[in-house]
Structure formats: C-alpha cells, structure tokens
Amino acid sequence: MVASVNRWSSVGNTEVSRAQRWVRRRRISSAPNTGLAFILDVTGKRVAVIGTGPSGSQITGAINKIVSQLTVFQQRAQYITPVNNRPVDEIERAEIYKNYDTIWDIVFASLFAMGFIESKKSALEASPLRARTSVEANETAAAFVRSKIAEIVKDPETAKSLQPTGHYGGRPLCAEGYYEAFTEPNVSLVDIAANPVARLTEMGIELRDGTAHEFDTAHTYRNVDITGRSGVKLNDVWKNGATSLYGLSITQFPNLFLVSGPGGPFSNIPPSIEVQGDFITKLILESQSRGTKTIEADAEAQGKWDETVQAISAVTIFNKVRSWVQNDNVEGKTKYSTFFLAGLGNYIAKLEEETGAKYPSFKFE
C-alpha cells in the first residue's frame, strides 16, 4: 500500500493499532513524513494507492507500468490536469537564463506567483448577479475536465467514478498520466466512499461489504510530536485547527520556524519560500542585535492574523469545496482555511509592514 495521507481517517482506532503492528513486523517500508525523497522499489509488486490527492495521483501515474497490479482506493474524485512537463533544449535553456531576472520579476508581479497576471478584483466587489455568473462560468471549466476524463478512460463505469461533481478550482491537482493509468489492464479503481474500508488485514484491506484486497507492499508515514513551552504538544494545540503567525511562527513554540505553514500564502511554492526564508533570516538577525535568545509569535497577533485568513477564505470558492485546504475532508473535523488567499503580493506587503515596525507581532526574550 502507498498511503497518500498521514493517518487512517476511514478506519477505527482498533484497526489502526492492528495496522501499526503489521507495519512493525511485516514487509512494509515506513518513512518520516518530512517531504524528503524516499525510494521504495515496487517493480512487479501488487500495490494499493490509498487516496487520490497530490501524492496518490502522481504515484498512480508514475508506477502503473512497472507494478503487476495497482489498485487505487478513491474517497472523492479529483480534478486532475496534466503537468505538461517536457524536455528543455539548450537553446531554450539559454534564453531562459538570459531573461531570468525579468521572468522572476513577472512571477512576483502576479497574484499567486504563477508568472501570469491574474484578475485582482476582490470577490467582495462583485454584484450578486456577477457572483452567480462566476459560479456558472466555473461549471464550464469543470464540465471540460469531466469530458476529458470520459474521453481518456474507456470503461464507462470507471470514467464516471473518476469524474468530480463539485466546483473546479477549490483544490485542483496536476499529475502526468493519472487518467491514462486507468486504461491499463493491471490498474483498477475502488470507490471507498460507497464501500468504505472496514479493516486492515494481515494481507491487505477488507471493505465493508467483505471484499478483500491483497497486496505485497505497504508504505506508511509517521509524524513527529513537537513539544513547546511547559510540555505543550503541537498536536494538542492544533487539534481544532492549525494556525500560525504568517505561516512562520507559533505561539508557545519559541525558535520553531516554519515555511509554508498554516496561514502562509497560497501561491507558487518556490517564490513564497524565498520570501519566508528572507523574513526568517531578518528575524534572527534582529534577535541577535537585541541580544535575545528566543523568538516567538505573540498570541494576540497570531489570533488576529488567523481571523484575517479565515475572513478572506470565506469569500472564495475554496469555502464551497470540501478538501484538506479547508480541513473538512473528513467528517467531524473543524472547518478552517490553511492558507492566506489574498495573493503573494499582499503577503509580502504585510511582512514588509512587520519589518518596518520592528516586528511588533513577535516576542524576543
């Protein structure tokens, strides 16, 4: 099994414990959930991919031709479009290098650092009629993606199961060869929304209706429990919603710096990481100049930033789509936004304001 989630949300605690014991004693590879490269040889194996988020969809497209059997367990159909990666020849590469600074300037001038200029009109400015029309326009994009799925996947039942029904854009994914994988005879789709996982067995997975699926390998993730002041656990602090100041720092956790943390900008990742890395560097230099040893988000400032993040999210299409972006992809979870959705430029402006005021939202001790 290759699990593209960091915990089993669809099976009971007893079954999770049973699975963990199985992980410890059977033929399963386990790696920290750190984002570091981890190589698992699945050539000729019977493999299950559980979840069709970014990891699950990319893994499906990447390994379907080298495994003997691939079963994809889908909780919810996703809008997945091609990455369109391609070789870059030396002439084009030289042209890119020659214009690198200009290209980077265009990236930072765009709303979400994607390198093209998006509409910057606030949803708050739209009339009710325009807002309704926008939802209808969204459906045309959604219908186009659904039509491409039906065109690629020849089996009508599988194609129908792969077609999402909600708004497009709430959490669109990119992957190469995902839908094409379902044209291969060794690839099958299992709908666990209609027939959920009942238990993990010694040999694989058993569904609610008793159907058993056996596999050769499993790949799971484990998390690290981070401890802050007075022994407080980050998992406990975040149990009703993950928040931080600017996606960078968390109250009660001094000298713990994040990049792309909750409340950080929704944007192209490399530019936002550069911005955050520069800001963290300035924070550390400021601490050194003050002769202090710890830097920590002020609790009141973190709370106000989170209020801003949630207010912006509430007027976007993200708020209408169930996904991990809104933390409502699993029943019983508290809904909240994990991103600052007003664009990288507005985020940079906020950090510049913070720097200019000598970091009033942080505590230096």
Q: Domain with 347 in it: what CATH number?
A: 3.50.50.60
pLDDT of residue 330: 72
Lowest mean per-residue pLDDT among 90-104, 166-180, 248-262: 166-180
Determine if residue 230 is left, alpha or beta; phi over 0 gives left, psi from -120 to 50 gives alpha, anything else beta.
left
Q: Evaluate whether residue 216 is within a structural domain.
A: yes
Q: Evaluate whether residue 115 is within a structural domain.
A: no
Residues linked to residue 286 through DSSP beta bridges, in sequence order: none
Q: Evaluate whether residue 91 is within a structural domain.
A: no
Secondary structure of the chain as H, E, C letters: CEECCCCCCCCCHHHHHHHHHHHHHCCEEEEECCCCCCCCCCCCCEEEEECCCHHHHHHHHHHCCCCCEEEEEECCCCCEECCCCCCCCHHHHHHHHHCHHHHHHHHHHCCCCCCCCCCCCCHHHCCHHHHHHHHHHHHHHHHHHHHHHHHHCCCHHHHHHHCCCCCCCCCCEECCCHHHHCCCCCEEEEECCCCCEEEECCCEEEECCCCEEECCCEEEEECCCCECHHHCEHHHHCCCCCCCECCCEECCEEEEECCCCCCEECCCHHHHHHHHHHHHHHHHHHHHHHCCCCEEECHHHHHHHHHHHHHHHHCCHHHHCCCHHHCCCCCCCCCCCCEECCCHHHHHHHHHHHHHCCCCCEEEC
> Residue 60's domain spans which residues?
2-78+171-222
Lowest mean per-residue pLDDT among 13-22, 181-190, 201-210: 13-22
- Please indicate, yes or no, whether residues 248 and 349 belong to a single structural domain of this protein: yes
Lowest mean per-residue pLDDT among 147-156, 185-194, 215-224, 232-241: 215-224
- Over 70: is that where the pLDDT of 251 sits? yes
- Please indicate, yes or no, whether residues 63 and 210 belong to a single structural domain of this protein: yes
Q: What average pLDDT does this structure show over 323-350?
A: 85
- Over 90: is that where the pLDDT of 183 sits? yes
- Please indicate, yes or no, whether residues 60 and 184 belong to a single structural domain of this protein: yes
- Over 90: is that where the pLDDT of 302 sits? yes
Name the band, by pLDDT with cuts 50, 70 and 90, for residue 33. very low
- Please indicate, yes or no, whether residues 285 and 215 belong to a single structural domain of this protein: no
pLDDT of residue 84: 82
pLDDT of residue 358: 97
> From CA 349, how far away is CA 171, in angstroms rounded?
25
pLDDT of residue 27: 38
- Please indicate, yes or no, whether residues 213 and 317 belong to a single structural domain of this protein: no
Q: Evaluate whether residue 302 is within a structural domain.
A: yes
pTM above 0.85, yes or no: no
Q: Evaluate whether residue 157 is within a structural domain.
A: no
Q: What average pLDDT does this structure show over 224-230?
A: 84
Q: Evaluate whether residue 163 is within a structural domain.
A: no
What letter represents residue 282's amino acid? K
- Please indicate, yes or no, whether residues 183 and 325 belong to a single structural domain of this protein: no
Domain final position from 183, 204, 222: 222
- Over 70: is that where the pLDDT of 110 sits? yes
- Please indicate, yes or no, whether residues 217 and 280 belong to a single structural domain of this protein: no
pLDDT digits (tens, 9 = 90+) for 187-202: 999 998 889 888 877 7
Q: What average pLDDT does this structure show over 215-225?
A: 60
How many domains would you assign to the chain?
2
- Please indicate, yes or no, whether residues 207 and 234 belong to a single structural domain of this protein: no
**With pLDDT > 90 as the criterion, what percentage of the chain qualifies?**
49
pLDDT of residue 171: 66
pLDDT digits (tens, 9 = 90+) for 46-84: 998 888 888 889 889 999 999 999 999 998 898 999 888
Domain final position from 207, 222, 237: 222
What letter represents residue 96's amino acid? I
- Please indicate, yes or no, whether residues 188 and 243 belong to a single structural domain of this protein: no
Q: Evaluate whether residue 30 is within a structural domain.
A: yes
CB 177 within 8 A of CB 55: no
- Please indicate, yes or no, whether residues 233 and 334 belong to a single structural domain of this protein: yes
- Please indicate, yes or no, whether residues 253 and 218 belong to a single structural domain of this protein: no
pLDDT of residue 34: 38
Q: What is the mean pLDDT of the chain?
A: 83
Q: Evaluate whether residue 26 is within a structural domain.
A: yes
